[in-house]
Structures are given as C-alpha cells and as structure tokens.
Amino acid sequence: MSDAIIRTENLEKSYQTGAVTTQALRGVTLEIKKGSFTCIVGPSGHGKSTLMHLLGGLDHPTKGSVFLEGVEIGSLDNSRLAQLRGEKIGFVFQFFNLLQGLTAKENVEVAAMLAGVPEKEQAERAMKLLAQVGLAEKADSKPSQLSGGQQQRVAIARALANDPAILLMDEPTGNLDSAAEAEVLEILRNLHAQGKTVVVVTHNNEIACKAEYVICVRDGQIQ
Amino acid sequence: MTLSKLVIRNITRRRGRFVFTLMGITIGIASFVTFLSMGGSLKSEINRESAALGANLIVTPIGSCAYEQVSILTGEILPSNITMDEVAKIRAIRGLSAVPVLTEKSAVANKPVSVNGVDVAAMKAFKGWEIAKGAYFSGPDESAAVVGSAAAELFKLDTGSTITVRGESIPVKGVLKETGGRDDVTVFLPLPLAQRLYKASNKVSYLAVKVDNLALTDRYVEQIREATNLGVVSDKQMLKSVLSIVGTVNITLQMIASVSVLAAAFGIVNTMLTATYERKREIGILQALGATQRTIFTIFLLESGFYGIIGGATGVVLGLLVSITAAPYISQNAFTSFVKGSGVGAMIDLKTVVGSILFSAVVAILAGVYPAWRAARLSPVEAISYE
C-alpha cells in the first residue's frame, strides 16, 4: 500500500542460546499506515518486543524484510541502521531508560545531538519538547528527582528530539500508576492528532482500545 | 550537548573512581617527569660545567674511570696521587699550559663545600677569573681564601670574614665574579696551603690542560703519556663518557617510571571496562537514539583520553613540584650534586611538559581502545535489555 510507512514481509527472527534455537517470529507480514496509531498486543514472550526491535532497526531479521518508507532496512549494516534510527525513529521504553547522570533537558539534547541537530539549536528544541509534555519546569531535574510518569514524559520528549517519522513504544505505561498512565495516554493522543505515526507494544487494554489498528502477536505470528 | 560534554559528565559522575583512576596516571606521570626533568637538568649542568672547566685535556692518575671524571666536574673529593714532579714534567712540555688542582671538601655552617687547592697565578690566567670584591691571591704562599660568588652568598662570606678549613681559620681575601660554573660554589686556596691542610704534601688530584694548537692534541696526549705514567682524556671524551653514564642512569630511572605509567594504564583499562559493563544499558539507549558504533567507540576513547590529559597535566605539575622541592635535599654525590646547584628554571622544560602530557594521553587512549571496542560492538537489543 502506498500509505504504509512501515511494512514487513515474512519476517522471521530466531535466537541461538547454546544448542537451543528459539523462534521468536515466524513469518510476520504487516503494514503500518503513515499517521496511524497502532497497538501490538499479545501474551508475554510471544515476540511483540522482538517485532518492535526489528521495526525500529535495533536488530536484524533472520529471514524476511522490513521496509521503512519503502527502503529495505533489514539488510542495512549496523552503522547505516544507527543513522536511520537517529533520523527516523523515536523509541520509548517501559523503564524510561533515561541517562541518569544528565538532566531532563540534557537527555533530550543528547538525542538531538545524535540526530545531528546543531548544539545552538538543541537547547531550544529540548525546551520546546519538554513544554510539549508539560515538563518545562523540570528541565534541570535529574531523572532521580522525577516521578515515574515524569520520567516517561521526558523519554517521550527525547524520542521526539529527532522529529521521527515513527514513534515506537514498548510498554510505555507498564511501569506507571493510573494518573501517570492517563498523562502519557493524553500525550500519545495529542501526538497522533498531530499526525505522528505511533506504534505501541502493550498489555494495556485501555491503550489498545484507543488505537486505530491492533495487531495481535501470538507464538511469533500475527493472528 | 556535544560528545566531549557528555564524556565529562560521564567521567565526573563517579567522582571516587574518577579521582582514584586519575591518581594512578598522575603518580605515574609525576615520577616520569621528576626523573626526566632531573635528568635533563643533570645533562645541561654537565655540559655547562664541562665548558666552564675550560680545559682541552684532563690529566688524572692512570686507571681513573668515568666516576673520577664526573667528580672533576662536580667538585667531589678525588684521590690525590699525582706528584708535583709529574706536574713539573707535564708543564715542561711546550705548547700547552697545565694547572694542577687538589680537590677536597670542607664544611661551612654544616654545609658541604668544595675546596680546591690551585696554582694561584696559573689558574687565574687559565680561567680568566675576575674579582668582584676584595683582591686575588698575591702569591702561592699566602694563607688566604678566594671564594666563588654563589658560595660567598650562600655562606655569607665577604672580604674580612674567615672560614675554618681543617680546624684552621683562613681569612677570605676576595670573591670571584660569577663564572656560571662550579667555580661559583667553590672555595679556592693556594695549592701549598691546601696540600698542608689536607696532608697531601706534594700531591694533586688532576691537571687541567689547555693546548695552543688543537690540531696537535693527539701529539700532546702522547707526550704527556711518555713523560709521566698518568691517564689523559680530552674534554670531549670526558663529556661523552660522563653523559653516557648519566644517560644510562636517566634511561633506567625513566624505565622504572614508565612501569608506573604502564600500571596506571591498566588502571584505566580496568576503569573503562567496568564502565562498559555498568553502562551497558546506557550504551543501548545511545544506540537506540542513533549512536553509531563509531560514536560509542569515540565516547569511550575520549573518556580514557580525558584521563590521560588531566592525569598527564596534574602529573607534570606534581612531578615538577617534586623535582623542585626534592632537589635541594638530594645529598651531594657525583650524580646529583649538579641538580643541587642548578636553578628551578632549568628543570621546567616546555618539551618535558608537552611531551609528558602527550605521552600520558597516548598511553591512556591506547588503554581505552579495548574497552571502547567492547562497548562499540555491543548489540543494541542486548545492551538495552541489560538489567
């Protein structure tokens, strides 16, 4: 389809642990439309996160292809993949994964730096994004001084630092209380409304209910 | 944000580890610099003393080794085995001027000082000494002393004051103008007086010889050897053998210091490897944000390089401080007495400073290559999933 920002063809991923081979994905073919809000759901250990890693170019598929904006990324080398992540993908993880030694603003600035944003513009962009997630006043706080919800909002601001084509989130509310979860959901809704492509891997039915598309992964396959 | 800022934030985050790793490289470089600056100072002092000696040939008892040659330059006590008969035979050779010197030691205000018994007239002509205060010896049988400018200042000696040599009070008759050599820190006595005081009757330690025609130096050497049973060495040979000893000592000391730098380098390897394990998840985050393997490699290499540059700079400062502080306390001996006489300025050599910091940086960067490589080749998924 022409409006697919990302699509996969017969995607397979297996891991070798000693003599044991684990088949995480078994021929996944899917499409994610540009500007859509898609949830990937399914039981734990059935390949959701693996699928997200492959969609975001964090890993190479064992077989099959991943196309991002029409470019096959599965066969790109590590360096090119890293560059592509810096330019087109924004990641948000369950455990926030902020750099602990840096302030909220600096965390966003690092992402901007890696995306090639000039140093002079980084601070401005970081403040704008922190304001967007409602944390401008916490710009100089270290992650340890922020609540879980606030850390996740900083992580979202950081994921937006490169103005990504697609936002990939792995259980973004998995570690949050209800109030924080509602705040994050609100931000996701706003991002989607602004035209961002949002893909969320989740167990959270409330998020899944709000998604335009839901992809269910079970035993490494789409159901 | 820049990579360097990120690196500085990473390093200073764990201050204890940062300080201890830095101390390793600081101490290593400090010992390296201490030995290097003292060695450099020794070499320049030796060159200066050799030039100040003003002799083309040195006559010493046969069998004298390089140690005795060093002692001539440092003003140490030498065995006085050359008889005045032998002195006369050498002085009888045409085309050269030879001055006998008896080198001894005394103490003024509990500080050691070189005492040289000299042929007063011949020595003044040989060295071209000028008098700053008072007067020079009027004859060889005078019971008086003429002191070098630095010795006069150090021991607060002036014309009219006295010094005690071997229990005998000797009046100071004059103070020499600064020569820039060992003579500045020496007390000179007429040879007969020195021979009497040190019970070296009819004996001297060495002869400094100037030849009229340098092209015929070899012939003069032969003539001296034929006339006496003494050893003759040219100033260049002496300088070469002394510098070679000093060079060997320097290299040995620098090698010992290099071992401590090497140990510090392994400290950096250890710190950086620990950092790759501790920050595995952070590496994964940076990779997810778009950091390439080269970026991760650069971050870790910059971190170890930072240790090298900061450790090198603090090491250089510490090393120079140690050199400057320790030099006056180094006991007088043939190898170290030069340092004692040399000024602080001689030790602070820009080449040593820059070279040591560069050396430190290169060692640290090399030490960081393996940890950086380990960090760079982490898989993003593995790193980001690390608990």
Instruction: Judge whether A4 is closer than 8 Å to chain B, CB to CB.
Output: no
> Whole-number mean pLDDT of chain A?
90
For A35, A87, B292, the CA distances from A115, given in Å and listed in that order, are: 21, 6, 11
Structure tokens at A35: 């500007």
pLDDT digits (tens, 9 = 90+) for A86-108: 999 999 988 888 998 899 999 99
Tell me the nearest-neighbour CA distance from B314 into chain A, angstroms.
25
Q: Are A111 and B289 a contacting pair at CB < 8 A?
A: yes
pLDDT of B66: 64
Select from B284, B289, B381 the Cβ nearest to the Cβ of A114: B289
Q: Helix or strand or coil: residue A32?
A: strand
The residue of chain B with its CA nearest to that of A168 is: B288
Instruction: Judge whether A83 is closer than 8 Å to chain B, CB to CB.
Output: yes
Instruction: Judge whether A93 is closer than 8 Å to chain B, CB to CB.
Output: yes
Q: Helix or strand or coil: residue A123?
A: helix
Q: Which residues of A touch B6 (CB under 8 A)?
A: 102, 110, 113
Tell me the nearest-neighbour CA distance from A167 into chain B, angstroms.
12
The residue of chain A with its CA nearest to that of B6 is: A110
pLDDT of B330: 54
Helices B66-74 + B15-53 axis angle, to 10? 90
- Is residue A110 very low, low, confident or very high in pLDDT (cuts 50, 70, 90)? very high
Burial of A120 (0-12, 13-18, 19+ CB in 10 A): exposed
pLDDT of A11: 93
Tell me the residue type at B211. V
pLDDT of B358: 93
Strand partners, B284: none
Q: How far is CA B70 from the centre of its chain?
A: 13
Q: Which residues of A touch B285 (CB under 8 A)?
A: 97-99
Of B141, B119, B125, B132, give the one whose Cα is nearest residue B188. Answer: B119
Select from A58, A101, A112 the Cβ nearest to the Cβ of B288: A58
Q: Which residues of B touch A110 (CB under 8 A)?
A: 1, 6, 286, 289
Instruction: Judge whether B132 is closer than 8 Å to chain A, CB to CB.
Output: no
Select from B2, B281, B288 the Cβ nearest to the Cβ of A85: B288
CATH code for residues A4-222 = 3.40.50.300
pLDDT of B368: 92
Q: Which residues of A touch B288 (CB under 8 A)?
A: 56, 58, 85, 91, 93, 97
Task: Give Cβ neighbours of residue B238 (< 8 Å, ≥ 6 apart).
Answer: B50, B58, B69, B72, B73
Q: Are B9 and A53 a contacting pair at CB < 8 A?
A: no
Instruction: Judge whether A103 is closer than 8 Å to chain B, CB to CB.
Output: no
pLDDT of B345: 47
Q: How far is CA B56 from the centre of its chain?
A: 24
Q: Are B337 and B73 in contact (CB under 8 A)?
A: no
Distance CA B372, CA B377 (A): 9
Q: Are A109 and B1 a contacting pair at CB < 8 A?
A: yes
pLDDT digits (tens, 9 = 90+) for A127-136: 999 999 999 9
pTM score > 0.80 for this model? no
Q: Are A85 and B2 a contacting pair at CB < 8 A?
A: no
Tell me the nearest-neighbour CA distance from B288 into chain A, angstroms.
7
pLDDT of B376: 92
Three-state secondary structure of chain B: CCHHHHHHHHHHHCHHHHHHHHHHHHHHHHHHHHHHHHHHHHHHHHHHHHHHHCCCEEEEECCCCHHHHHHHHHCCCCCCCEEHHHHHHHHCCCCEEEEEEEEEEEEECCEEEEEEEECHHHHHHHHCCCEEEECCCCCCCCCCEEECHHHHHHCCCCCCCEEEECCEEEEEEEEECCCCCHHHHEEEEEHHHHHHHCCCCCEECEEEEEECCHHHHHHHHHHHHHHCCEEEEEHHHHHHHHHHHHHHHHHHHHHHHHHHHHHHHHHHHHHHHHHHHHCHHHHHHHHHCCCCHHHHHHHHHHHHHHHHHHHHHHHHHHHHHHHHHHHHHCCCCCCCHHHHHCCHHHHCCHHHHHHHHHHHHHHHHHHHHHHHHHHHCCCHHHHHCCC
pLDDT in tens, chain B (387 residues): 898 899 888 888 888 888 988 999 999 999 888 887 777 777 777 777 777 777 788 888 876 666 666 677 766 667 777 899 899 999 999 888 899 999 888 888 788 888 999 999 989 888 889 999 999 999 899 999 999 998 898 888 899 899 999 889 999 999 999 887 788 889 999 999 999 999 988 899 989 998 888 888 888 888 998 888 888 888 888 778 778 877 888 788 888 888 888 888 898 898 889 888 888 888 999 999 999 999 999 999 999 999 999 999 999 999 888 887 776 665 444 444 444 444 444 556 788 889 889 999 999 999 999 999 999 998 888 888 766
pLDDT of A197: 94
pLDDT of B292: 93
Instruction: Judge whether B215 is closer than 8 Å to chain A, CB to CB.
Output: no
pLDDT of B336: 46
pLDDT digits (tens, 9 = 90+) for A35-83: 999 999 988 888 898 999 999 999 999 999 999 998 899 888 888 999 9
Q: Are A51 and A217 in contact (CB under 8 A)?
A: yes
The residue of chain A with its CA nearest to that of B9 is: A101
Domain ranges of chain A: 4-222
Q: Are A119 and B287 a contacting pair at CB < 8 A?
A: no
Q: Which residues of B touch A107 (CB under 8 A)?
A: none
Of B290, B287, B296, B387, give the one whose Cα is nearest residue B7. Answer: B296
Tell me what the mean pLDDT of segment A111-140 comes to.
93
Of A74, A41, A40, A34, give the one whose Cα is nearest residue A58. Answer: A74
pLDDT of B334: 41
Q: How many CB pairs under 8 A join A and B?
A: 79
Select from B1, B288, B384 the Cβ nearest to the Cβ of A119: B1
Pairing relation of β-strands B111-118 and B162-165? unpaired
pLDDT of B339: 45
pLDDT of B112: 84
> Left, alpha or beta for A218 (phi > 0: left; psi -120 to 50: alpha)?
beta
